[in-house]
Amino acid sequence: MKIKEIASQFTVMVLSTNVDRGAAIKVALAQAGYDAFFISDLEVGLKNIQQSNPHIVIIELKSLPESLSTFVGKILATSGEIRLVLLGNDSEFETLAKYEDHGVVQILSEATPFLEGRLVWAVNRICESLYLTYQNEELLKRSEQAQAELTTVKEAYQLKIRQSVSFRGIDVLIHSYKTCETKEQVLNLFFDQLAELKVLYFKYLPTVRSLIVTHSSGYLQESIQGVGCQLPENENQDLVSQLSLGVCPGSLAVLMKRALGLGQVQVFPVFSQNDLEGVIVADVVPDSEFHRHLSEQFALFGLAYSHFAIEKKIELVDMQDSVTEVFNAKYYNKRLSDEVQRARRQKQPLSVVKIGVDDIDEITQTLGSAVRDHVLKMVAQLMVKSSRAHDFVARLRDNELVLVLVNCSKRGAGLRADRLRRAVESSSVLDHGIKLSISIGVSEYPSLCDSFTDLDETSTQALMHIYAKGGNRLCLYKAVSGFKPEFEITEASGEPHVP
C-alpha cells in the first residue's frame, strides 16, 4: 500500500499551545499529503473536532487545560472512532499507556529526535490500518449488496420458472456459480449455458491496451485462436464508458468484421470491483429470443462474477496482517494443519521456521512503535523474497514471524534459515542506522515431531531457547528420547529437499 496515494483522505488535527512545535508538525503532515490543521487554543480545538470529526488528533499534554481523562472523554463523546497520539514526557509513559482502550494508539516523548518525522511515520501506520479497516467494511457492504441482488435475480428467475416449464432450474445454476473456486470456472460455467450461441470473451490487458479472446461458444477453436486487437490511446481512454453504453470500440468492430465477417455485434462489459476485466461480444440480433436469453444469462453471470471477486477480497483482508502484509495467525493455523495432512499422505517433510527480531523492546522504547513496525515488515518481506511458490510467511504475535517450508527437510530448513539470518544481519533500517539481528527456531515433521500442534510448539521452544542464549543464532529442535517418526525421509545424493 502506498500511503501517499490515500493520505489526502485523512484529516489530522494538532492541538498544542507551543506555536512553533505545532506549526512544524502541521507543515510536516501537510507535506506528507494529509489534510492537516494546527490549533493553539484547545477549547477552540474541541469545537473544531465536533464540527470536522478528524481521523487523528495529536495532543501535547503540557497544553491541556484540564485532566487528560476529562479532555479525552470530550473527544470520544464526539466520536469513538477518533485515534489519539499523545506527546508527553518519558516518565508519563506508564500512566499514558492505560489510555490504550480510549483511542490512544501512539505515545511519543516530546524530546524525541526528529519528532516531526516520527509523527508523520506514526500517522502513516495509523492511516494504513484505518484504510484497511474501512476497505474491509466496504467490501462486506458490497458483498451484502451483491447477495441481495443475487436473491432478487433468483426470485425473478423463479417467477419465470413458474411461467415457463422450458427454463432449467435457476437454483442449480446459482449453486454451481457459488461453488466456483476461480474466475476461470465462473467464466466456463457461463459459456456452458450458451449452447450454440456465437459468443466470445475478450480479456482486457490494460498495460498493453489490448483485447484478447480467451473463451468462446459457437466457434471452432482454430478459427478464433490468437484473435485480438490493440486499442489506440483515445479508444482506450473511453473504453469503459463506451462499453457501458453498449457501444463496440472501433478497433474491436473492425476486428470482428475482418476476422469473423460480423458487421453488428452486441457487447457486455465484465467488471470486478469497478475494474474492467473483459468484454463479452455476441453475434445476436437485438431484441431476439437469443438476445434475451443471453442478457438473462449475462445478468446472473455478472452478479456471480462480481460477488466472487468481493468474497475473495474479503478473504484476503481477513487473512492478512495489517502491519507486515503477510498472512496472519488465523490463516497460519488452518494452512499448517492442512500442510501436515498433505505431508503425511505424500510422505514428504514439512519444516517450520520461527523468527523473532532481537532487542525489539529496546527498538520500540527508543525509536517508537512506527520504527518497530517498519522493522517487522522489512524482515517479513525478506522472508517472502526467500520463499518458494508453495511456501508461505505469517505473523503470529507481536514479535513472532513464521516461514513454513513445504517438502523441505530440517537440513534444508536450517540452511535457508541461516541464509536469512545473515541477510537480516547485513541490513540496516533507513536513516536510523539500526543493526538488526534475528533469533530462529526450526522444527520438522516427521523427523522431530508427529502432529500439527507439536510442529508449532517445538519450533517455538527452539526459538525461546535461542532468545535465552542471547539471540542472533539458530536452534534446531532436538526430538525427545525414544521418538520414532511416522515415516523416514530419504535424502538421495545428499539433500533433495534443500532448495
Q: Which amino acid is at 220?
A: L
pTM, whole model, 2 decimals? 0.47
pLDDT at 186: 86
- Amino acid letter at 473? R
pLDDT tens-digit readout, 384-404: 988 888 899 999 998 999 999
More confident residue, 134 or 234: 234
CB 39 within 8 A of CB 63: no
Indicate if the pLDDT at residue 182 is higher than 90: no
Superfamily of domain 329-476: Reverse transcriptase/Diguanylate cyclase domain (3.30.70.270)
Kindly list the distances between the CA atom of residue 102 and the CA atoms of 72, 84, 184, 354, in Å, as whole numbers in the listed order: 8, 8, 47, 33
What DSSP string describes 448-470? T-SSHHHHHHHHHHHHHHHHHTT
- Closest residue by Cα to residue 202 from 248, 235, 242: 248
Which of 57-66, 97-106, 222-231 has the weakest average pLDDT? 97-106
Of 147-156, 228-237, 251-260, 296-305, where does mean pLDDT reach its minimum? 147-156
CA angle 228, 234, 235 (to 5 degrees): 35
pLDDT of residue 475: 95
Collapsing DSSP to helix, strand or coil, 215 comes out as strand
Choose the CATH number for 3-132 among 1.10.3720.10, 3.90.1170.50, 3.40.50.2300, 2.60.40.1730: 3.40.50.2300
Q: How confident is the model at residue 157 (pLDDT cuts 50, 70, 90)?
A: low
What is the CATH architecture of 168-317?
Answer: 2-Layer Sandwich (3.30)
Q: Tens digits of per-residue pLDDT, 104-131?
A: 888 888 888 888 999 999 999 888 888 8
3-state secondary structure 47-100: HHHHHHCCCEEEEEHHHCCCCHHHHHHHHHHHCCCCEEEEEECHHHHHHHHHHH
CA-based end-to-end distance of the chain: 30
- Residue 149 is predicted with a pLDDT of 73
pLDDT band at residue 96 under the 50/70/90 scheme: confident
Q: Return the domain boundaries, the chain.
A: 3-132, 168-317, 329-476
428's CB contacts (< 8 A; 6+ apart) are 434, 435, 436
209 burial class (0-12, 13-18, 19+ CB within 10 angstroms)?
A: middle
What percent of the chain shows pLDDT beyond 90? 39
pLDDT at 167: 44
Residue 433: predicted pLDDT: 64
Cα 118 to Cα 33, 45, 46, 115, 386: the distances in Å are 15, 23, 25, 5, 30
Q: What is the pLDDT of residues 356-377, one digit of tens each?
A: 999 999 888 888 888 899 899 9
Query: d(Cα 396, Cα 384) in Å, to the nearest integer?
Result: 15
